[in-house]
Structure 1
Amino acid sequence: MSEPASPNSIASVLEQLAEAEAARAEPQLTSRQRRARTVARLAAVQALYQMELAGEGVETVISEFENHRFDAQIEGEMLAEADEDWFAEIVRGVVTSQRGIDTAVKARLASNWRLERLDATLRALLRCGAWELMERPKVPREIVIDEYVELAKAFFDEAEAKFVNAALDGVARDVRPKD
């Protein structure tokens, strides 16, 4: 796997995600609510990455995002409003259920790969997506997979995005066999 690419800007990542969102929709949510969830997912990936690299606790990171990152200017742009409750659910859920999530993800890796060998951002993407697939059955599996694939595209090359797609699709088949 290659190193994650640094996106040009937060604004460009959000623009890329907005374009992808136009192709799909969570039917029960308004456009603004869908956008807020997309931002929450991006923030959750960033939070898990930060926790892993800095060794910070879950509540510390959630508080930092809620108090300093949401609705703040980043790179001269206002960060879109996030669904802060969804963000906190994802981050807490991944931390609480990490053992089961990792087991589900590992089952979808090639036999010679270990989760620990993956880039920290890629691990965060897979963990967040797997948690949503496992714990939020009302969110359509296509939405979950598409959102995290688009996030992967914001940070990685096409190969990693395809990897995220395949891994999360496999997790979905395992945990939502009737979907």
Structure 2
Amino acid sequence: MTLENTPAADARRRRSAARLAAVQALYQHASSRTPQARLIAEFHDHRLGAEVEGEQLSAADQPFFDDLVSGTLARLDELDALVASFLGSGWTLDRLDRLMLQILRAGAYELVARPDVPRAAVVSEYVDVAHAFYEKREAGFVNALLDRLGRSVRDGEG
């Protein structure tokens, strides 16, 4: 069994897929106000691990996906205030594009609510999500903001 084919590696891939799908679901919710239950059901039925345009999507950790989406939506005001507190001078949440805001919200949620996931792993994973949609500069912005946010909410974690 190679390192990439271990159960631990599979679990990491499934969580990575869940994070990407969660950001997409949050974007859909922000764009169309799809009710949460319908949104999650739609992703379970048609997106997580599905084949899209002839390409097989990675299987996702569904309970983790569900927690990221429902937890982020339940704590939007708290997460938005937290993200806003780490934006640079003159920046507001309104200046962020809708997708970037969802990446930061999901990352902030995971840093605040999922102490079972190491801070550095959370930051790295959302930088990877940002790379799926943006250039290096924007991914660097995600890295810097979530790293500072993570250090503030996870005092003492290396």
Instruction: Report the equivalent of 2:123.
Output: 145
Instruction: Report the equivalent of 1:55.
Output: 33
Match for residue 132 of structure 1 among 99, 107, 110 = 110
- For 1:75 and 1:37, locate their aligned partners in 2 and report how far apart those are by CA, in whole Å: 23
Structure 1 stretches of 4+ with a deviation exceeding 4 A read none
Match for residue 59 of structure 2 among 71, 74, 81 = 81
- For 1:170 and 1:115, locate their aligned partners in 2 and report how far apart those are by CA, in whole Å: 17
- For 1:170 and 1:131, locate their aligned partners in 2 and report how far apart those are by CA, in whole Å: 14
* Aligned-residue RMSD, C-alpha: 1.2
- For 1:150 and 1:71, locate their aligned partners in 2 and report how far apart those are by CA, in whole Å: 19
**What is the one-letter code of the residue matched to 1:122?**
M
Question: How far off its partner does 1:70 sit?
Answer: 1.8
Question: How far off its partner does 1:37 sit?
Answer: 0.3
Question: What runs of 5+ residues in structure 1 fail to find an aligned partner?
Answer: 1-21, 23-28
| 3-state DSSP of counterpart to 2:156 | coil
Alignment of 1:97-176 (within 5 A): 97-176=75-154
Question: How far off its partner does 1:99 sit?
Answer: 1.0
Residue 65, structure 1, aligned to residue 50, structure 2: no
Question: How far off its partner does 1:71 sit?
Answer: 2.6
Instruction: Report the equivalent of 1:91.
Output: 69
Relative to its length, the structure with more helix (as a share) is: 2
Instruction: Report the equivalent of 1:46.
Output: 24
Report the TM-score when normalising by structure 1: 0.82
- For 1:101 and 1:177, locate their aligned partners in 2 and report how far apart those are by CA, in whole Å: 18
Question: How far off its partner does 1:85 sit?
Answer: 0.6
* Equivalent residues, number: 152
Question: How far off its partner does 1:67 sit?
Answer: 1.1
Higher relative contact order structure (alpha carbons within 8 Å, sequence separation ≥ 6): 1
- For 2:90 and 2:125, locate their aligned partners in 1 and report how far apart those are by CA, in whole Å: 27
For residues 77-126 of structure 1, the C-alpha deviation after alignment (integer angstroms, 9 at most, x for no partner) is: 11111101100100000011111111111111012111122011100100
Question: How far off its partner does 1:130 sit?
Answer: 0.4
Give identity over the alignment, percent: 44
Report the TM-score when normalising by structure 2: 0.93
